[in-house]
Chain A
Amino acid sequence: MAKVRYDLNVFINCPFDDAYQPIFDALVFSIFDCGFIPRCALEISDSSQIRIEKIQNIIAESKYSVHDISRTELDTETNLPRFNMPLELGLFLGAKRFGTGEHNDKACLIMDTERYRYQKFISDISGQDIRVHNGEAESAVGLIRDWLNSTSNLRTIPGGQRIWSRYKQYRDELPEICAKAHVTEQELTFNDKANFASLWLKENG
């Protein structure tokens, strides 16, 4: 496995529910295709470690992060909203503001489903550049590609259409690849998905 590379790590702070899965999977693939390493809380299975510590450690190891603050709906069972994503966005902004050395160079992409909607529920981030994906995976791929291209020093990042085209090919082949690997798509963990995407790109890139 790779060494921790601060300047290549991209922390993903997004919903983990089934409805968001198409965007999440596309983000993981796209980050690899751009030459970076996706990181998220799901990568650590050590149940002895407190969740917030896992997230803090990943934020400490990541120069970049993408935050999707679109999940504002009330939980159907509790009738309450989930605040994890705004909390983790705050942790990242705090690390950039109060951290020292390389942490001052942290950069983040904030995404939502609609333009200016965030002003009604998290107005303190007004003035930041919030990007809109309209709930579409292809749009999210374009957003993260364009942002990494403009924010990083990497000049080898493919175009958004090229990444999306490769992702569609990967998705088409994934059921067959899983069958040959004797695993179902539903059984793939985040780390598995990351390995599958990275290795597929190395073989087919």
Chain B
Amino acid sequence: MVAKSAERIVQSPVKRGTVKTSTIKDAIKSVKSSHSDN
């Protein structure tokens, strides 16, 4: 049986990247918000 996606935990990467996490989060939220407005 396939589980609901809400039950799973998305893990974080082990290493840091070159782009700040807060910058990525803001960009993702902004795109999500702009798409939901359409």
Q: Which residues of A contact B (CB under 8 A)?
A: 1-2, 4-5, 8-9, 32-39, 43-44, 154-159, 162, 173, 176-178, 180-183, 187-189, 191-196, 198-205
In the bound complex, what is the Cα–Cα distance between A193 and B2 (angstroms)? 27
Contact present for B28 and A203 (CB under 8 Å): yes
Contact present for A180 and B14 (CB under 8 Å): no
In the bound complex, what is the Cα–Cα distance between A71 and B17 (angstroms)? 28
Contacts across chains A and B counted by CB atoms under 8 Å: 121
Q: Which residues of B contact A (CB under 8 A)?
A: 2-3, 5-19, 21, 23-32, 34-35
Q: Which residue from B3, B17, B26, B32 sits with its C-beta under 8 Å from A192?
A: B17
Cβ contacts under 8 Å, B8 to chain A: 33-35, 154, 156-158, 205
B6 nearest in chain A by CB position: A205
Check A194/B17 contact, CB under 8 A, given A158-B8, A205-B5.
yes
Q: Which residue from A32, A181, A193 sits with its C-beta under 8 Å from B10?
A: A32
List 26 A-B pairs, Cβ < 8 Å.
A1-B16, A2-B13, A2-B14, A8-B11, A33-B10, A34-B8, A35-B8, A35-B9, A36-B11, A37-B11, A37-B14, A38-B13, A154-B8, A156-B8, A157-B2, A176-B34, A178-B27, A180-B30, A181-B23, A191-B16, A192-B17, A195-B16, A196-B17, A205-B5, A205-B6, A205-B10
Cβ contacts under 8 Å, B27 to chain A: 177-178, 180-181
